[in-house]
Amino acid sequence: MTTFIVRRVLWMIPSLLVVFTLTFVVVHATPGSPWDESEKPLPEAVKQNLAKQYHLDDPLPKQYADYLINALHGDLGPSYRSVERSVSEIIAATLPVSAQLGLASMLFALLVGIPLGTLAAVKHNSWIDYTASFITVSGLATPPFVRVSLLVVALSLGVAWLPTGGWNGIWDVRSIIPTLAIGLGPAAILARYTRSSLLEVLGQDFIRTARDKRLEDVMIVVRHAMKNALIPVLTVAGVTLSNVITGAFFVERIYGVPGIGRQFVDSVTGRDYPLLLGIVLIFAILISVVNLLTDISYGYADPRIRYR
């Protein structure tokens, strides 16, 4: 197991480097900077000064090495757009907001997805199963920007229960729509996996034994089946995180949440390449770590799995 963890951690480094290097090269090959957009062309001297300030004239390998070394010290460079804040400061200010929103969405997904999948599996091929499957497919199929739009139309404009946008911390009512809009995707994934995994387990011999012993149905599902059925569901943790991150791009933008997803979108449309690069790096690390933890916890949860 220890060897597996060590190998897995070591494998994470090249994988991260590949994504980071690709992004770095792509971003640096991208022509144009935010200053091209101004209506008045800048004087040549000013441009040179700016290039010097941001080290744009250094050879690419040197820029790459400098960036990596600085990044390891927590310095992701200056933003092209923001005068008063560096990339690291922008991320430090916006990541906690998205983290709260992301955790709330995940919690929602767990509390809705797993019971929904369980119910669908236990009442296999009944109207409950079909209703659950319709909800699941709707959640899987609709992109987050459609979900948040429809939620705003229904809950804010239709019945006027909730505000149409803004952010005031996770405990404010304003966080309900973004949480639902992001969380419905992962909830659908969890429900689908729980259902198929539980169906498989319910067909196994030890469940029949439990039934023959006249154990109560609820006991069989909760004590015997769920324990085994939830292990494969662990594998989708990485997928659900991806879902939460890309969901945040749209939901934060539409609902006006000052999180890192909105910063990412703004960095793309505003050609703030250092910010874009920094955020991609943060996302890549986050996803790699979660994938790693998933693999490790999988091994602990299911003793039948042997790692080489």
Partner 1 sequence: MPLARRPTGLWRDAWHRLTRNRAAVVSLVFVVLLVIVALFANLVAPYPFERQDLESTDLGPSAGHLFGTELLGRDELSRMVYGSRISLAVALVDVLIVVLIGVPLGLAAGFFGKWLDTLIMRTVDVLLAFPSLLLVIVVITYLRAVLDQPTGPILSVIGGLDNLTGGLLGVFIALGLVSWLTVARLVRGQVLSLKEKEFVEAARMVGASNLRIMARHLLPNTLAPVIVAATFGIPGAIATEAGLSFLGLGVRPPLPSWGILIAEGVRNMRAFPHELLFPAVVLAVTLICFNFLGDGLRDALDPKLKVD
Smaller CB distance to partner 1: residue 93 or 140?
A: 140
Contact 275, 80 (CB under 8 A): yes
What is the DSSP secondary-structure string of 38-81? SSSPPPHHHHHHHHHHTTTTS-HHHHHHHHHHHHHTT---B-SS
What CA–CA distance (Å, rounded) separates 45 from 27? 24
Q: Which whole-number Å values give the CA distances from 291 to 19, 38, 115, 307, in the listed order?
A: 15, 42, 24, 16
Binding characters for partner 1, 221-260, by CB under 8 A (x = yes): -----------------x---xx-xx--xx--xx------
> Which of the ranges 43-51, 72-80, 115-123, 287-295 carries the binding residues for partner 1, by CB under 8 A?
287-295
Q: Is 167 exposed, middle or buried (0-12, 13-18, 19+ CB in 10 A)?
A: buried
Contact call for residue 31 and partner 1 (CB under 8 A): yes
Closest separation in Å from C-beta 22 to partner 1 = 8
Binding mask 52-81 for partner 1 (x = CB under 8 A): ------------------------------
For residue 155, state whether it binds partner 1 (rule: CB under 8 A): no
> What's phi and psi for 86, nearest 5 deg?
-80, 170
96 touching partner 1, by CB under 8 A: no
The reply to whether 301 sits near partner 1 by the rule CB under 8 A is no
Contact status: 167 vs partner 1 (CB under 8 A): no
CB of 123 to partner 1, least distance (A): 18
Instruction: By CB under 8 A, name the one of 128, 215, 231, 268 that touches partner 1.
Output: 268
> Of 86 and 196, which has the nearer Cβ to partner 1?
196
Q: Does 288 bind partner 1 (CB under 8 A)?
A: yes
145 near partner 1, judged by CB under 8 A: yes
Under rule CB under 8 A, residue 263 binds partner 1: no
Task: Mark 200-213 as b/e (b = at least 16 C-beta within 10 Å).
Answer: ebbeeeebeebeee
Give the one residue of 95, 128, 215, 265 binding partner 1; rule: CB under 8 A: 265
Tokens matching residue 183: 């969380």
Is there binding between residue 105 and partner 1 (CB under 8 A)? no
Q: For binding to partner 1 (CB under 8 A), which residues are involved?
A: 15, 18-19, 23, 26-27, 29-32, 137-138, 140-143, 145-146, 149-150, 152-153, 157-158, 164, 192-193, 196, 238, 242-243, 245-246, 249-250, 253-254, 264-265, 268-269, 271, 276, 280, 283-284, 287-288, 291
